[in-house]
Structure 1
């Protein structure tokens, strides 16, 4: 590994990610956009799926990195479309050897107001799609001799946060799923880990929930007194996707400035 400077940031290079076939859910906005850029800068072949048009981002990414991602516009909750997107990525880039389950929706809701329809909608995005994305890429990873899956969860469930109980339920479920799949497919050299970001100030968070009082209260809980930005999640993801973490699996890594502690 070595550190290199880019026009945007300084990051560590992982040579084994050069040419790797990477598939990212929700890779065109928020944290996902920074993840896409991070892998492109490593020289990876990146495909990402998202509901919203991302053609402008694709052009921007190619300008910034010299490496063009494959954008597949579709809905991850449509499982046939999700499987089709993975097949399209594999046709273009070869078997997916790195999966980043990133897409999520933390829409606020109250326990006593939730109905079955909302439960199904929320879990279909925040948990169900994660499982079936893993299921879809694993056969290709087995044939390729191994791979890495990184599931994005959140520290929200560790903190016992209120205001989005189905989201925190899904976060906790992601960790259980991560551990079980890691054990099941470890013999195939497939590593499965989770990253639990803290409060990352994406544009959505700034527009909807990041009031001055809320920001101050959260920063008070952090050991490191800087708010997190999407690019702060990139380095940990690249590490867990690369052979630098070859003997790390079944783990959940909090990237939160020191809000929660484990061990």
Structure 2
């Protein structure tokens, strides 16, 4: 799949959470191929991924090992990225954890953990980048959610609640910081065939059943999401904010 080139993204300072695996790895590669200056965080070591990206794109990302549930650690990583690449112009809140659970299994500690990853981290990364965006006269924040809360599925109620809350956060931040020309949008992927999904939850029967719910017959890959994120990051979408863009093969219907 060949992604379009957005010339205005060249040399743009981009910060991605969870940018070394799954959908995030696809986003990191997509921005690198635009000539952007990409920094990303995740807990696990991503040195080999950075080496591979430098070799395949000629553009090496800046990786910082970081627990995104620690606001101070995230702020420090953003400051490091700004020192190397310049103030963050595009933030992609991507890191999440869709661990399966039932309501009966939810404990206060589990709920705190799930909300810290899937909602709280989005709040504090945005808080950390917005002052510099205000000084620069604008920026773009993209919150990666999912269609999980739209489908009405059982099996991860705290995760779907956090995903729904991200839309409220997106709209409120878009309204608050629109006068600063900071655009805030959400992107909701469908079921994307990442290594984690393939290892833990994708079975032939489950995939076949899900594809029946899509309008399009093909399963989704990380690069299918990257095009939408590039569009939302680019000035091509300069008049778009407070919106939720769905890329799911046609499972849910918006509007």
Query: Normalization by structure 2: what TM-score?
Result: 0.99
Structure 1 consecutive aligned stretches of length 4 or more whose deviation exceeds 3 Å: none
Q: Deviations over 1:103-134 (max 9, x none)?
A: 00000011011000000000000000001100
1:46 aligns with 2:29: no
1:185 corresponds to which residue? 177
Matching residue within 28, 32, 36 for 2:24 = 32
What is the rounded CA distance, in whole Å, between the counterparts of 2:106 and 2:143 in structure 1? 26
Give the unaligned 5+ runs of structure 2: none
What is the rounded CA distance, in whole Å, between the counterparts of 1:125 and 1:137 in structure 2? 18
Matching residue within 194, 202, 208 for 1:216 = 208
1:105 corresponds to which residue? 97
Structure 1 counterpart SS, 2:40: strand
2:148 corresponds to which residue? 156
Matching residue within 220, 243, 249 for 1:257 = 249
What is the rounded CA distance, in whole Å, between the counterparts of 1:121 and 1:262 in structure 2? 30
CA drift at 1:198: 0.2
1:233 aligns with 2:225: yes
Q: Deviations over 1:125-147 (max 9, x none)?
A: 00000011001000010011100
1:83 aligns with 2:75: yes
What is the rounded CA distance, in whole Å, between the counterparts of 1:57 and 1:112 in structure 2? 38
CA drift at 1:262: 1.1
2:118 corresponds to which residue? 126
Structure 2 counterpart SS, 1:215: helix
CA drift at 1:74: 0.9
Q: Deviations over 1:38-90 (max 9, x none)?
A: 00000000000010000000000011110010000111001110000000000
Q: Deviations over 1:214-253 (max 9, x none)?
A: 1011000000000001111000000000000000000001
Give the unaligned 5+ runs of structure 1: 1-8
What is the rounded CA distance, in whole Å, between the counterparts of 2:94 and 2:101 in structure 1? 21
1:4 corresponds to which residue? none
Q: Deviations over 1:160-206 (max 9, x none)?
A: 11100010000000000000000000000000000000000101101
1:168 aligns with 2:160: yes
Query: Normalization by structure 1: what TM-score?
Result: 0.96
What is the rounded CA distance, in whole Å, between the counterparts of 1:189 and 1:161 in structure 2? 36
Q: How many pairs align?
A: 255
Structure 2 counterpart SS, 1:194: strand
CA drift at 1:11: 1.1
Matching residue within 61, 68, 72 for 2:53 = 61
What is the rounded CA distance, in whole Å, between the counterparts of 1:55 and 1:262 in structure 2? 39
CA drift at 1:101: 0.2
Superposition RMSD in Å: 0.5
